[in-house]
Amino acid sequence: MADYLVPVHADTPAIDVHWLDRPDPHISEFGARGLGEIGLVGSAAAIGNAVSNTTGIRVHDLPITIDKLL
């Protein structure tokens, strides 16, 4: 497991966003399309790094709560 590579947020290629000018009433009642969770890939890691940089404490499991920092 020491040599197992885990993809991180930096490994995600740039995402090109295209706005569509027509609604799709078959997907939702508002005609909106969703992106899914691809935009949230690095959110938890970024917050964890910010907490670690601020407090000096590395939390390895979520959610990050006050009791884990004390």
Instruction: Give 26-68 pLDDT, tens digit per residue.
Output: 877 877 777 666 667 778 888 899 999 999 999 999 899 999 9
Per annotation, catalytic residue among 37, 40, 54, 65: 37
What are 39's two structure tokens? 């935009």
Q: Based on the residue annotation, tell me whether 37 is a catalytic residue of this protein.
A: yes
What are 23's two structure tokens? 């609604």
For 52, residues 6+ apart whose C-beta sits below 8 A from its C-beta are 58, 59
> Would you state the pLDDT for residue 7?
76
0.85 surpassed by pTM: no
> Would you state the pLDDT for residue 35?
67
Confirm if 23 and 55 have CB atoms less than 8 A apart.
no
CA-based torsion, 55, 7, 33, 63: positive or negative: negative
